[in-house]
Structure 1
């Protein structure tokens, strides 16, 4: 087992132990063996209760006579059995995707501009030193809540924090963040004028894609952030953000170039800046997506009348 896989496994073990689940360890695996050694010892009374013998009285079969057999109804003709498709118990169940529009109704009372900053801070305090999902045990250093203007008209939503973000506690501050800053500047805005958040607020190990249990656990807080900020436009950066915001898994090619809806805002989908760093040829396509946003917001690129 690699170091990364062992770290992830330990994270899930610690997470499940916090939930009170202990009896899922396998023998032969050193990680499970160590976790099993740390498992609380059952009390003497519980052990004695478990070892009690349960005696079941035998059931005597009924005696059939010739007269009683005459009254036994003949069985109906068998009908063809419907084939069953069985799923192995070890196969994980894939959670159903639910769009942010369907997760909760829109709030009836909206926050006034002056109250939005305090409302967002209340959400941050509620999150606290979060241990609601396995990411809390996977080497996280800081929770990355969000950054930007609570009254922003434009909101960007990415996938999750990277190493730089995990160290500083702010979203998009590494190389991908520098590119996002350039994209925002090209739109005629400053970073301080937009609001930036992620699907998950803790860094997944080795920057992997967040697991459904992690993304779904964190969604409640991102949804409330969106409801407080009330942006006019949301830009989903990459497939992970688009998948959870819209509640469906679809290629970026099928999602880009058209408007979607999310919590009362218009939503556009484009490439994640980290992907654009790996494939700069797609920067032109991303710029087309941003131009669509600029047109909707009445923005013009710097230097253009």
Structure 2
């Protein structure tokens, strides 16, 4: 290129729209960085001569200061060590205490909004608590909010949410007859996978939320939700389609159906038939439970 082309506002708008649809919502650096480039070698450190070394005649170098001279030197100040704020067991214990003391969903929401023990809250825009009818017979639990959910403060409102709405409609349900939440109520930055520690800190909140709603049937959307709430390490393709049990802290056993996450189905549409079978199982279970 010999000359810079004039800026086209429409081209910039189209580029930003592409980035937004791809999930890019944070600028890390102004210039691209080659992460594979070899790091420059550190400069070699000069070796100080021994204390008893004698300078050659005519040399202008000075000898090391004597102890009396060192006493007059200014004190060396060291920068304070900065430690990252990593969630610890104390925060997990506080989350368990707050969850246990919440007697209503509104109180639980207030406790979660005031809780600062999870580092995900610092980068999220909103607390994504729940959507739907808390008196519903069906409760669905995903893993964590995405970009659209973080903006609106509601779970499953983006492309995954629209697919979930169609899946519910296929068995005669909607958001007035279902209750939807996530294991993690704050969006991880860049939609990264929550760490096991973050999940453990948030676990008491979602478990108490399930206990307060007390649905007839629980649907685990995706592997992370199923593994967290069903205490299993099996993959979702092995778990899905088989009834499991989620037991609350008070000992109530709730039938749970693990199924594929709508986001996974958008990437792998051939597996929608598997999720359809799972939702038919849920429909039959609701009919049997009355």
RMSD of aligned alpha carbons: 2.9
Match of 1:62 in 2: none
270, 275, 284: which one aligns with 1:295: 284
Structure 1 stretches of 5 or more lacking a match?
8-27, 29-35, 41-94, 96-102, 108-115, 300-305
Name the residue aligned to 1:130: 115
1:275 to 255, 264, 276: 264
Matched-pair contact (CA < 8 Å) for 1:234–1:267: yes
Hey, what's the Cα distance between the residues in 2 that align with 1:210 and 1:193? 29
Q: Say which of 265, 270, 274 aligns to 1:285.
A: 274
CA positional deviation for 1:183: 0.6
2: CA distance between counterparts of 1:135 and 1:193?
Answer: 30
In the other structure, the counterpart of 1:259 is 243
Please name the residue that 1:211 is paired with. Answer: 195
In 2, are the aligned partners of 1:259 and 1:268 still within 8 Å (CA)?
Answer: yes
Residues of 2 paired with 1:235 and 1:291: CA distance? 12
SS of structure 2 residue aligned to 1:128: helix
Runs of 4+ in 1 over 3 A off after TM superposition: 36-40
Distance 2:214 2:80 in 1: 47
Instruction: Verify the 8 A CA contact 1:161 1:200 in the aligned structure 2.
Output: yes
TM-score, normalised to structure 1's length?
0.59
Give distance in 2, aligned partners of 1:38 and 1:169.
Answer: 38
Q: Hey, what's the Cα distance between the residues in 2 that align with 1:267 and 1:237?
A: 10
- Cα displacement (A) at 1:133: 1.5
- Structure 2: where are the runs of 5+ without partners? 1-24, 30-41, 43-77, 83-88, 90-95, 248-252
Distance 2:135 2:223 in 1: 26
Distance 1:161 1:124 in 2: 16
Give the structure 2 partner of residue 234 of structure 1. Answer: 218
Following TM superposition, by how much is the alpha carbon of 1:37 offset from its aligned partner in structure 2, in angstroms? 5.3
Partners of 1:38 and 1:198 in 2: CA distance: 39
1:211-234 Cα distance to aligned partner (Å, 9 max, x none): 111111111111111111100110
Cα distance in 2 for partners of 1:277, 1:38 equals 49
Alignment size in residue pairs: 197
Higher relative contact order (CA 8 A, sep 6+): 1
Q: Is residue 156–residue 194 contact of structure 1 (8 Å, CA) maintained in 2?
A: yes
CA distance in 2, matches of 1:272, 1:37: 48
Q: Normalised by the size of structure 2, how large is the TM-score?
A: 0.62
Of residues 187, 192, 196, the one that matches 2:180 is 196
- Pairs within 5 Å for 1:27-46: none
Q: Deviations for 1:213-260, whole angstroms, at most 9, x for unmatched residues? A: 111111111111111110011010000001100112111232122111
What is the match of residue 105 of structure 2? 120
